[in-house]
Amino acid sequence: MSEEAIKTELKTELKAKFRTELPKCTLIVADDLPPGLAANTAAVLAATLGKQIPALIGADLPDAAGLRHAGLVSVPLPILSASRAQIKQLWEQAAATDGLTVVDVTEPAQRARTYAEYARTLAETPAETLDYLGVALCGPKKSVTKLTGSLPLLR
């Protein structure tokens, strides 16, 4: 399959999902996290976003020797930074915005050693006390930009 055919196929799949335009996707990570936890938070957000919107992941591709390489995310995925309070506010605004896919990583997720422990702890934690370490947004460009346009890149 040619590069142009792959691009056309991906655009068709994503436009079908989002109706009119390619989605804009952005990860926002807490600016006070140490580098390892920031990287882990971004990885969890990206992996979960790929599960929520499978069309974001491109087709597997061969190299010149015919060896297969797994498909990668097919749209830009900038990683921005914000305070935990800003991330919580972003999550609240995004969750109330039609057409946005919202993924979050909270303190209980970061602390948990198993998914069962995370599920139990999350179920016992009042929503207003959740500490957000990161959020991923994906949807119409205008909606995502309105929420994230003033945030700096993660450094």
* pLDDT, tens only, 42-97: 999 999 999 999 989 989 999 999 999 999 998 999 999 999 999 999 999 999 99
For the stretch 92-116, pLDDT in tens is 999 999 999 999 999 999 999 999 9
pTM of the model: 0.84
Task: Return the pLDDT at 69.
Answer: 97
d(CA 15, CA 65): 32
Q: Which CATH architecture has domain 19-53+75-148?
A: 3-Layer(aba) Sandwich (3.40)
Q: Which two tokens mark 91? A: 């999550």
Burial readout 83-104 (b: 16 or more C-beta within 10 A, e: otherwise): ebebbbebbeebeebeebbbbb
Mean pLDDT of the chain: 90
Domain limits, the chain: 19-53+75-148
